[in-house]
Amino acid sequence: MGLLSKQSDVLENQLSEARRRIAELESELAQSATRDQLTESLLTLRAFRAQLELDVQRAHRYRRPLSVAIVDIDGFRSINLSHGYGAGDSVLVAVARVISESTRAHDLACRMGGDEFAVLLPETNSSAGIQAAERILLALEDLSAGPIRGLSASIGVAGLRPKQSPEQLLGEAHTALGQAQAGGGGRAAVHSGGEGPEEVSGDATHGDVVAALASALQERDQYTGDHSESVVDVAGRIAESLAMDEEQISKLRTAALLHDIGKVGVPDDILHKPGPLDEREWEIMRQHPVIGERILRAIPGLGAIAKVVRHEHERYDGKGYPDGLAGDDIPLGARIILACDAYHAMTSDRPYRAAMSHADALAELTRNAGQQFDPNVVEALVGYLYGRRQSGVTGL
């Protein structure tokens, strides 16, 4: 009797374990049916559409607001081509995480396929939807995924209108996405709800904002403004020689133009001092990259540029400021601007010192390669300047 009882207990335990395992498998199957296999944190498109259908019906029934946002990564194809499909997948997973962390618990998101995501925003009108989109844009600008530092995206937002179907709502969000992309990317657009054009978040283009900031810098300090403009073209040329893509070069040129924008926050007696600065004054002056970053981060879509501006005084050996970054941890755009900035500063007359010769400035760059400057950037800059000299062009 005792033996039969023990065997019965063993069988019962085995059955319990089998039932538990079956329940786990059923849960895993249900999860896999509703969760995107790559990102895991987001819904599948099928599950998203099913929930969208329910939420649209509910919003119509109770006359509640509802919005949808479509997110498309700018330049994703170039990420795959430059860094490989593994890096591209890492970026998609990181973007999914950013979207999840930047939205509310009851908002739902899915990967629609490729590099496109959709976000369902219940109890949200289009104005609040555009604010949610801008939060995602700002968070993406700080994204870090493998070799990728900072990301740009275009977002289209549409708010549900009376009697509108889920397909029509998604269609209007895609139309708004097209408007954001046509504006150059790195921004969000909201569908107007009529036949006219969509409204783009912030200014219609960043160009007007950048021009206004550059003008403000010029008014604040003539030398700084002229100096920044002189650095722009050569920084772009060096970026081309280092195989940066067109979008990266465009952002670099903007960062080069605005790299000293933080000096608008430096007191006049320090900014315009006719002699060398003392240690207290240098401590204040060294705050200008951080001030510049704060100014630029206040403008949606300029986060990646703000990051370059913050780090353009970092040194390759890690002894720079404000964060003591070293080597490849410093954004490449910042490393390029630092070298071009230094060359122009060395070869320009200042009230407290005469300009260096071209040869002495190149010698100084070369001597500090691997310490203050990225050796590859110095090599590219010296080569570019030598070519200009051979063509009879002097200076930047």
Taking only the tens place, the pLDDT of each residue in 121-159 is 999 999 899 989 988 998 898 888 888 888 889 999 999
Write out the residue limits of the CATH 1.10.3210.10 domain(s) in the chain: 207-390
E strand map for 46-150: 66-73, 108-113, 116-122, 144-145, 148-149
Where are the CATH 3.30.70.270 domain residues in the chain?
45-202
pLDDT at residue 195 in the model: 47
The answer to whether 265 and 296 are in contact (CB under 8 A) is no
**Would you write out the chain's pLDDT as a tens digit for each of its 396 residues?**
566 666 666 667 766 665 666 555 444 444 445 788 888 889 999 999 999 999 999 999 999 999 999 999 998 988 988 889 999 999 999 999 999 999 998 999 999 988 999 999 999 999 899 989 988 998 898 888 888 888 889 999 999 999 999 999 999 999 999 988 887 788 889 987 654 445 555 444 466 677 778 777 776 666 655 656 778 889 999 999 998 988 789 889 999 999 989 988 889 888 888 888 899 999 999 999 999 998 887 776 677 788 899 999 999 999 999 999 999 999 999 999 999 999 988 988 776 678 889 899 999 999 999 999 999 999 999 999 887 766 555 555
CATH class of domain segment(s) 45-202: alpha beta
CA distance 81 to 78: 5
**CA neighbor of 220 nearest in space, from 265, 170, 154, 279:** 265
Q: Which helix (H) or strand (E) holds 80?
A: helix 76-83
Q: What is the pTM of this model?
A: 0.61
CATH topology of domain 207-390: Hypothetical protein af1432 (1.10.3210)
Spatial contact of 274 and 241, defined as CB atoms under 8 Å apart: no
> Residue 302 corresponds to which amino acid?
L
